[in-house]
A and B are shown apart, each in its own frame.
Chain A
Amino acid sequence: MPLDPLSTTFAALADPTRRAILSRLALGQTSVLELAEPFEMSLPAISKHLKVLERAGLIARGREAQWRPCRIAPVSLRQVDGWLANFRKFWDENFNRLDGLLEEMKAEEAVKAAARTKPKVRVRKEKPRGRKSR
């Protein structure tokens, strides 16, 4: 069964070399030769990675020029970005507000604890126990 588009995208992103290629392409389009330079890999191996990225719709390769420039394809990335970013953003914002509330709750609890201990001290003074405390 063929993978759904998002799974293909994520499978393509699962490889560190391919993520490194994407990070490089985020800076601008470039040639296969230039892309291969920082990796200890043969050109055919890099070409294989590029094919996976292309099939996943993450990059596009120019047909016009002989050096076939590689660039990032915006559509799939928008999908990936949205895939995580919205879920993360929602909970990040919620939890950041919760941090603020927890500070207030801690302060309230401290005030209550202080109020509780004061009368106890008085009670002890009024009714000292028989045992020696020291």
Chain B
Amino acid sequence: MDAKVDKTLKITTPSDLEIAMTREFDAPRHLVFDAMTKPEYVRRWFGCEAFTLPVCEIDLRVGGAYRFTMRTPDGVDSTLAGTYREVVRPERIVFTERFSMPGFTSDEYQVTSTFMEAGGKTTLTTTILHATKANRDGHLNSGIEKGVEPAYDRLAEVVATMD
């Protein structure tokens, strides 16, 4: 009965204002929840390969703030920061967030994560709700200038994800 964990990241746009991500983890939800909400754990996975994480602060309670700052090798900081709206360990967490980097600060958006456990595995569903469609599109487009150089042979794959 040990169902295999499907570690594919599924990204959908349930409405014009939302982005939804679903991912399964081979661990009970209290561990997934802690890994995502305790700084000593977050430091070990969040960010980008080449970036450092000089700021990783979490005040996990309703009204509490958090701040993650990523730094590129040439010293450019980008920050994700916000306030917790709901904290129900290990089921659900809701927070507001803004992304900022030199010359750009996003509007605020709301992030809702739910942790569903079955047979020792956890399904994480994260829904990001923006105030406008333009903001939502911009969010998905983030990082484009950093450039993953697309190749023609990836076309079929890209088109397949549009379903």
Contacts and interface: CB of A to CB of B under 8 A. Distances in A.
Contacts of A90: 48, 143
Most interface-central of B49, B147, B150, B154 (chain A CB within 10 A): B150
Residues of B in contact with A, size category: 35 or more
A99 B25 contact: yes
Interface string B5-47: 0010101000000010101011100011011100001001111
B144 interface: yes
B32 A102 contact: yes
Interface of B: 7, 9, 11, 19, 21, 23, 25-27, 31-32, 34-36, 41, 44-49, 134, 137, 139-144, 146-148, 150, 152-156, 158-159, 161-162
24 contacts: A4-B137, A6-B137, A19-B159, A80-B158, A82-B144, A82-B148, A84-B11, A85-B148, A85-B150, A85-B158, A86-B141, A86-B148, A87-B141, A90-B48, A91-B21, A92-B9, A95-B9, A97-B44, A98-B25, A99-B26, A101-B35, A102-B35, A103-B26, A105-B27
Interface residues of A, number: 42
A102 B26 contact: yes
B159 A94 contact: no
B26 A77 contact: no
Given A77-B158, A86-B148, A98-B45, 16 more contacts: A4-B134, A83-B144, A84-B158, A85-B150, A86-B143, A87-B19, A88-B161, A89-B143, A90-B143, A95-B7, A96-B7, A97-B44, A98-B35, A102-B26, A105-B27, A109-B31
Contacts of B21: 91
Contacts of B44: 97, 101
Interface of A: 4, 6-7, 10, 13-14, 19, 22-23, 26, 72, 74, 77-103, 105-106, 109
Given A26-B152, A86-B143, A102-B26, A97 B159 contact: no
A4 B132 CA distance: 13
Nearest to A13: B162
Nearest to B49: A93
A87 B143 contact: yes
Q: Which secondary structure dominates where chain A touches chain B?
A: helix
B41 A105 contact: yes
Given A101-B44, A102-B26, A72 B155 contact: yes
Contact of B150 (A13, A78, A87): A78
Nearest to B43: A101
A72 B148 contact: no
Contacts of B11: 84, 87-88, 91
Contacts of A4: 134, 137
